[in-house]
Amino acid sequence: MKIRFLDVGCGDCIHIFFTDKEGQKRNILIDGGTEEGDVYERTLKRTLTSIVEQGEHIDLWIITHIDDDHIGGILRLLKDEELCKIVDFSRMQFWYNYSNWDYDTGIRPDNLKSVGQAMRLRDFLLENSRVNEMITDQSEVVDFFGARITILSPNHQSFSRLMTKWKMEETKIRQKDSSSLKMAKKNDYSITIEDFDVNQYRSDSSVENASSIAFLLEYNGERILMTGDSHPNKVAARIIDLWNGEKLSLQYMQIPHHGSKSNTSKKLLQSVECNDFIISGDAYNTNNLPNKETMVKYIKAFPGRDITFHITAKNPLTENIFKVDKPQRVNLEFPKGNDYYLEFELGCKI
């Protein structure tokens, strides 16, 4: 199995592909990145075009939650008439936590907030594809052609809160004014590792992020933890429950919410064993994600180890996160050459 984390800036778009026991090619997509600039053309569109040209299709598309940096690229696809003519949505299965509450309304002119976009995506998918809703930590474990998928988040409470917010937003979406982008804050890359207080934790309060689908993917005895923008304590609680308090050993782990300091907790770090961590972030965003504070938490949680952070975007900021420290046992990896993704192998040692 190969897993590609596409460079979509500060967002998620992941392509998983493998050959099943019957020799059939299988493709899974997770999210679609943002609508901004040329991100769609150089990542999601390029990936989908390659899949179609190889005579394959998307078997499963997991939409973790409804924020723009996760569904924006899919909305761009819906407006791409040329590509939509050759992409067979009828053969796709979607996992998407959407609201069934129906209200005839317009869509906000901006694409910054979630519910308006989610409504548009919901309506298209219900008409053109097979959609599984209410994906929670109580969903059954799925054997997907030899790949095992265990849902860890959201729990039922977080799912219900999303549905409540969705209903409220959908009723008043006509009257809302367009939001404006917030000014980016100053990043924390000039702070030394020793100066961070890793015991502090400011919890993410986003209802959308709390509803994010997080899951464990297992293939041929190896594991990767896919976290989306999930709340860490909810993921940790499910891991602790399923593994009876034992730590979950991972080949790779996606750091939640693009490396935000509000989405990594002590409880999550104490529930896993891993040396390779993946961050979907570019540092050029409102919250300067990834936060160095987050990465320091992982370094200090696994002392004496060689830790590698795999970052989807290579640029002057991400390359210099540890410029003031240059820690000996911390490695940064980025896409190679002209690649627009980071690629990992899972379960290929057998």
Within-domain flag for 350: no
Within-domain flag for 187: yes
Q: Which residues of 180-210 are buried (b: 16+ CB within 10 A; e: fewer)?
A: eeeeeeebbbeeebeebebeebeebebbbbb
Give the chain's mean pLDDT.
Answer: 89
The answer to whether residue 109 scores a pLDDT higher than 60 is no
Q: What is the pLDDT of residues 224-249, one digit of tens each?
A: 999 999 999 999 999 999 999 999 99
Q: What is the pLDDT of residues 61-93, one digit of tens each?
A: 999 998 889 999 999 999 999 999 999 999 999
Within-domain flag for 101: yes
* Tally of domains in the chain: 1
The answer to whether residue 104 scores a pLDDT higher than 80 is no
Within-domain flag for 136: yes
pTM tops 0.75: yes
Residue pair 59/26 in contact by the 8 Å Cβ criterion = yes
Instruction: Give 113's pLDDT tier (boundaries 50, 70, 90).
Output: very low
Spatial distance between the Cα atoms of 51 and 314, rounded to a whole number of angstroms = 25
Find how far residue 310's CA is from the centre of its chain.
14
Within-domain flag for 237: yes
CA angle, residues 307, 269, 146, in degrees to nearest 5:
80
Q: What CA–CA distances, in Å, run from 41 to 6, 47, 73, 241, 252?
A: 12, 9, 9, 41, 28
Instruction: Give 273's pLDDT tier (boundaries 50, 70, 90).
Output: very high
Within-domain flag for 287: yes
Q: What CATH number has the domain bearing residue 122? A: 3.60.15.10
Q: What is the pLDDT of residues 298-321, one digit of tens each?
A: 999 999 999 999 999 999 999 999
Spatial distance between the Cα atoms of 83 and 77, rounded to a whole number of angstroms = 7
pLDDT value at residue 83: 95
Q: Which residue range is the domain that position 86 belongs to?
A: 2-345
Amino acid at 217: L
Q: What is the pLDDT of residues 137-176, one digit of tens each?
A: 999 999 999 999 999 999 999 988 888 887 777 555 433 3
pLDDT value at residue 203: 87
Q: What is the pLDDT of residues 165-214, one digit of tens each?
A: 877 775 554 333 333 333 456 899 999 999 999 888 888 888 889 899 99
